[in-house]
Amino acid sequence: MFAGDKLLRIPGPTPVPERIVAAMSQPMIGHRSQDFIKIFLEVLEGLKRLFGTSGDVLVLAGSGTLAMESAVANLLEPGEPCVVAVGGKFGERWAEIVKAFGAEPIIVEYPYGEGLEPAAFAEALAANPKARTAFVTHNESSTAVMNDIRGLAEQARKAGVVLVVDAVSSLGGAPLPMDEWGVDVVVTGSQKCLMLPPGLAFVAVGERAWAKSNERRRTAYYGDWRRYRKAQEGGESPYTPAVSLVRGLAESLRMLEEEGAEARYARHELMKRMVRAGLSALGFEMYASDRWASPTVTAAAGGGVDLEALRKAVRKQTGVVLSGGQGELKGEILRVGHMGAATPLDMVATIAAIEMGMAALGARPEFGRGTGAAMEVWQSWQ
């Protein structure tokens, strides 16, 4: 049966709104032209508001991992120790990149489905005074956990450590006012809460990070922060920027500002609660506890069905695309993305799609139980 276009409810990439598609489809312009410079300067101002910083937000052509790598390459010397928080796949990625550059990650593990306690982070920093940089994950999308960056940054400030935050799957969907919270570096990508296709990476760099970075000898060229800062002063990029994506970004930032940051964060929080209520009503267990639950992605276990079979059935019957677990979590969890261009009504439809998928597997849910629970949350939300 006709199920329409595939509808992504995964933790990125996310659907791209028509307004952004239209912006990206305009005739190509040169990246050294006044037309482009005007757009790019507008974008750079909008990004500062989005990141909550008066500092530089550097725009790179590449994916989020490039932005992560640039932080390691611009901040660490070979052999230098640093603290890395690991509670899932993206924390592991920080550690891998640090090792690839010949620096020494000191791993602070936290349990899957939970966040890192600021007190535990403080202990790790105190135990490793030679580590002057720490790498953490804002939203660990592999386990659907959001860390308490405000609390972690407070400890980093006390210890005088430069704090680098991977906010790839959260920035724009949850507050992360970097100057106010005292975060030094924030990286993100275009294909999550920013509602764009993948291909742009962002690095916001604060004063303390510049100071540490300026002391070291870099091994990066394409990812060398200084080249971006210098070029961006004139509204340019040191290497050819991804022009069409930057045009889409300008439109995306306009959409974000029309909605307003507080309303947007509230929408993500509401969608999270709706999905958790809906899935709980269908008999699933929430993988992340309420305290650490992410506003951009929800992971559920149980449900009495084969979760991989459920994903396939949902996709086939309804066109809705969900994620499973990664690595050792494959088959153990179902992940529902609710970030970027997604609405409360989309969440009702997503829960309905899951009910239909369960029915297709013979699980015979009481239709409307999950969607009803989600709507109750929506109704009571003010």
Residue 44 token pair: 């750079």
Residue 233 token pair: 């002063």
Residue 223 or 278: the one with the smaller Cβ distance to its own copies is 223
In the complex, the smallest distance separating the C-beta of residue 8 from its own copies, rounded to whole angstroms, is 6
* The only residue of 117, 244, 266, 356 in contact with its own copies, by rule CB under 8 A: 244
**13 CB-near residues (< 8 Å, 6+ apart):** 191, 192, 197, 198
* The only residue of 91, 199, 206, 344 in contact with its own copies, by rule CB under 8 A: 199
Q: Is 245 in the site for its own copies (CB under 8 A)?
A: yes
| CA–centroid distance for 98 within its chain | 20
In the complex, the smallest distance separating the C-beta of residue 250 from its own copies, rounded to whole angstroms, is 14
Phi-psi region of 371 (alpha: psi -120 to 50; beta: other; left: phi over 0): alpha
β-pairing, 145-146 with 139-140? antiparallel
CA distance to 13, 202, 255, 336, per residue, from 284 (Å): 25, 36, 34, 12
Residue 186 or 373: the one with the smaller Cβ distance to its own copies is 186
* The only residue of 88, 241, 303, 357 in contact with its own copies, by rule CB under 8 A: 241
* The only residue of 29, 44, 356, 361 in contact with its own copies, by rule CB under 8 A: 29
In the complex, the smallest distance separating the C-beta of residue 97 from its own copies, rounded to whole angstroms, is 5
Angle of CA points 144, 150, 153, to nearest 5°: 110
**94 CB-near residues (< 8 Å, 6+ apart):** 68, 72, 84, 85, 86, 105, 135, 136, 137, 166
Binding residues among 80-109 for its own copies as defined by CB under 8 A: 96-97, 100-102
Q: Is 38 in the site for its own copies (CB under 8 A)?
A: no
Half-sphere exposure of 237 (CA within 13 A, CB side): 25
Question: Hey, what amino acid is at 210?
Answer: W
Q: Is 185 in the site for its own copies (CB under 8 A)?
A: no
In the complex, the smallest distance separating the C-beta of residue 191 from its own copies, rounded to whole angstroms, is 6
The span of 2-10, 126-134, 280-288, 291-299 binding its own copies (CB under 8 A) equals: 2-10
* The only residue of 129, 158, 214, 240 in contact with its own copies, by rule CB under 8 A: 240
Binding interface with its own copies (CB under 8 A):
5-8, 10, 12-16, 21, 24-25, 27-31, 33, 35, 60-66, 69, 72, 96-97, 100-102, 189, 191, 197-199, 218-224, 238-245, 321, 323
